[in-house]
């Protein structure tokens, strides 16, 4: 009897050990919802913090920060962009900051204000504090934190990549702007509608000045922009390429030029031969986030205001480039 119980105990112990080694298998449907988090730091930018994590998410998983566009909010942008769906599918957590109308009447992140775009200050510091809180609470992988956003959120993505490069492995700017564009152009509107006149080195110097003394590694960048965007002109994608190829020490001749989903796609390699900047020009698309509603591989997102069904899901493309899938 004793030997039988001992044998049974040994089997149960072995099964438990094996289960602890199994990879996280995400559920087909979301088992969690956006959760508001308070007390994540001094919050100098007076932002709200929301987060999302699939049920049963183990430690050591990546984190993605999502920054919504003007007039949007966390609850709409997280699912609408497809990122909550991918978090379930691939197993990672999300941090979804939300702007308050008291800070900006249109609920845009203040990507053009020095006090909100400098390291240790304002909204940039609040977002950095949210990342730290999420990593602590979920035991997330600090080496696999990514940031992405649409429009003003895309411009704020550039801010986070420049001001806190050590926190982010990669960033994704959707219909956004390069770091320091408003200051270079003298106005956020000139930057949006015309672009700023800067050389690649001047663009790169703006990023380097945001984190004095930092020598890398720098975040990789993926950019998606509609070719007929009249709210944030496509020249800003060109400026982003110039800025971040200069930061990475890469030239501005694409090493890959092809089409993905029928849209022009380019990849620029750094000195070590790895891709450091990637672009998608979404032919015929206006201002918004590309989505491709559906359940097939490669599809994600829900069409809506500034969430445009163009048969290509930006979140999926970024997630695959970042190794999340």
Q: Which residues does the annotation mark as catalytic?
A: 151
DSSP state letters, 185-212 = HTSHHHHHHT-----HHHHHHHHHHHST
d(C-alpha 34, C-alpha 84), whole Å: 9
Q: What is the CA radius of gyration of the chain?
A: 21
Residue pair 130/140 in contact (Cβ under 8 Å)? The answer is no
Distances in Å between the Cα of 192 and the Cα atoms of 9, 41, 172 are 66, 32, 18
> Phi and psi for 296 in degrees, rounded to 5?
-75, 160
Q: What is the DSSP letter of 121?
A: S
d(C-alpha 231, C-alpha 244), whole Å: 22
d(C-alpha 240, C-alpha 223), whole Å: 8
Residue pair 40/14 in contact (Cβ under 8 Å)? The answer is no
Tell me how many helices (H) and strands (E) the chain has. Answer: 11, 12
Which pairing describes strands 263-269 and 256-260: parallel, antiparallel, or unpaired? antiparallel
């Amino acid at each position: 009897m004793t030997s039988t119980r001992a044998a049974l105990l040994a089997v149960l112990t072995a099964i438990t050990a094996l289960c602890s080694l199994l990879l996280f298998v995400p559920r087909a449907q979301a088992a969690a919802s956006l959760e508001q988090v308070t007390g994540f730091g001094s919050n100098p930018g007076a932002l709200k913090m929301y987060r999302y994590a699939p049920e049963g998410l183990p430690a050591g998983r990546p984190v993605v920060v999502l920054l919504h566009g003007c007039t949007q909010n966390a609850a709409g942008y997280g699912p609408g962009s497809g990122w909550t769906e991918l978090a379930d599918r691939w197993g990672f957590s999300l941090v979804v900051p939300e702007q308050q109308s008291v800070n900006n009447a249109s609920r845009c992140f203040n990507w053009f204000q020095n006090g909100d775009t400098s390291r240790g200050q304002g909204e940039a510091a609040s977002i950095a504090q949210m990342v730290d809180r999420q990593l602590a609470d979920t035991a997330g992988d600090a080496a696999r934190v990514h940031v992405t956003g649409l429009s003003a959120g895309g411009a704020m993505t550039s801010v986070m990549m420049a001001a806190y490069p050590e926190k982010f492995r990669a960033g994704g700017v959707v219909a956004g702007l390069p770091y320091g564009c408003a200051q270079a152009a003298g106005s956020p509107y000139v930057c949006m509608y015309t672009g700023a006149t800067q050389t690649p080195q001047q663009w790169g110097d703006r990023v380097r000045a945001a984190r004095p003394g930092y020598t890398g590694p720098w975040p990789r960048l993926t950019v998606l922009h509609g070719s007929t965007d009249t709210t944030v002109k496509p020249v800003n994608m060109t400026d982003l390429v110039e800025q971040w190829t200069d930061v990475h020490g890469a030239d501005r001749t694409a090493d890959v030029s092809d089409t993905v989903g029928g849209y022009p796609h380019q990849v620029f390699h750094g000195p070590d031969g790895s891709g450091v900047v990637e672009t998608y020009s979404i032919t015929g698309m206006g201002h918004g986030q590309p989505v491709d509603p559906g359940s097939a591989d490669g599809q994600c997102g829900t069409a809506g205001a500034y969430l445009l069904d163009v048969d290509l899901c930006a979140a999926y493309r970024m997630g695959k480039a970042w190794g999340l899938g």
